[in-house]
Homo-oligomer: A and B are copies of this chain.
Amino acid sequence: MTAAGSGLAALRAQFPVCARAAYLNAGTNGPLPAAAGTAARAELDHELEAGRAGEPYFQRLLGLMEAVRAGYAARLGADPADVALTTSTTDGVGRALLALDLRPGDEVVTSDEEHPGLLGPLAALQARGVRVRVVPLAAVADAVGPRTRAVACSHVSWRSGAVAPAALAEVDVPVLLDGAQGVGAVPVDVAALGADFYAGPGQKWLCGPGGLGMLYVSPAMRERCAPPAPGYLNLADPAAGLHARPHATARAYDTPALGAAPLAAARAALAVLDGAGWDAIHAHATALAARAAEALRARGREVLPRGATTLVTWREPDAPARCAALAEAGVLVRFLPGEDLLRASFGGWSDDADLDRLLAALPR
């Protein structure tokens, strides 16, 4: 398979960086489509000329927020009313964990291959007396015990590309999924996953600007929890002062201030991907990643056990130096800190030539 259908060839052409590099690091930041830059420039021009005050300005900003929220919700299989806008996966993880209001002695179950964006907030809770129990990702559902108040783990592991167990849908405590390598990379259905919170990024697989992300908050969790520090736009009745209540929708969990230009860029990036079709994107990217894993194994590399996802991680001697050498050769992957592991990330914009370029640039 080469062209991946004319739809995906047309998609690739919209990412300027793909013309010069084998861009295999959407797991950190996706490539930006040209349309995102155009949209951000137009929004900046409008702000420069018209100013940023008055009812028309705020209606325009709120319209951008709702458009991006709807776009994120579609990727989560969720209602827009259940999706908050954040600055990043980590921001969403933090809002969710703080909303749960865990107390000393409460237990959270997590896995042994989590990102610092989840482990950092968990470490902060641990310092306040919360017990954090670490088990293999495949075992997180079975590890739920009588003191467990929540499970917090990856949907798709940033380290290996492994997937959280389906049994999470059956546990009877709140489940927070870190979707940094999930949403936009693979199909997501928050209800089927059993997620009460699902935190995701806008700048990785959705190819938006830095500083935007999402947090799904289920209606049940909104009944049970409260946002930790709601601001003006999070409040249903901001003029009510100390009696103000958060919105009933997930807007209550929005990051309090987001810029118009990044929102316009995020909306434009979503439209580019929508135009190519998500079924085609998912099928192409996971198939290409699977072929990469196979090819790396055929080259004698140890590939970490993974799921049907868009990440491929393998052992490579002197991984940081090899990563830099690959970058010199126009192949952008990442190394994982503290281990001799390289990780390649494949998206709808990737093609066989990117994979060939990676393989050609690796030592025999």
Contacts and interface: CB of A to CB of B under 8 A. Distances in A.
A211 B255 CA distance: 9
Interface in A21-61: 21, 23, 25, 28-32, 34, 36-37, 40-41, 44-45, 47-55, 57, 61
A116 B230 CA distance: 9
Nearest to A201: B257
A41 B241 CA distance: 39
A332 B256 contact: no
Contact of A117 (B20, B49, B256, B324): B256
Query: Residue among A53, A230, A238, A265 with the most chain B CB within 10 A?
Result: A53
B257 A91 contact: yes
Contact of A122 (B98, B116, B242): B242
A229 B121 contact: yes
B51 A257 contact: no
Interface in A98-138: 98, 101, 114-117, 119-124, 126-128, 132, 134
Contact of A227 (B51, B52, B124): B124
A217 interface: no
A160 interface: no
Nearest to A122: B242
Nearest to A33: B48
A120 B34 contact: no
A324 B59 CA distance: 14
Nearest to A88: B257
A146 interface: no
A261 interface: yes
A354 B129 CA distance: 57
Of the four ranges (under 10, 10 to 19, 20 to 34, 35 or more), the interface on chain A belongs to 35 or more
Contact of A41 (B41, B95, B203): B41
B120 A229 contact: yes
Contacts of A232: 90, 115-117, 120
B48 A239 contact: no
A336 B98 CA distance: 31
B21 A241 contact: no
B332 A53 contact: yes
B210 A259 contact: yes
Contact of A93 (B30, B50, B115, B229): B229
Given A211-B259, A238-B337, A229 B53 contact: no
Interface in A235-259: 235, 238-239, 241-244, 246, 255-259
A231 B53 contact: no
17 contacts: A17-B49, A23-B53, A25-B53, A28-B53, A31-B52, A54-B327, A91-B231, A93-B231, A98-B98, A101-B128, A116-B232, A116-B238, A119-B242, A119-B244, A122-B242, A203-B259, A210-B257
Given A32-B52, A87-B258, 16 more contacts: A23-B51, A54-B324, A87-B255, A87-B257, A88-B256, A90-B232, A90-B257, A94-B229, A116-B241, A117-B232, A120-B229, A121-B229, A123-B241, A210-B257, A210-B260, A239-B337
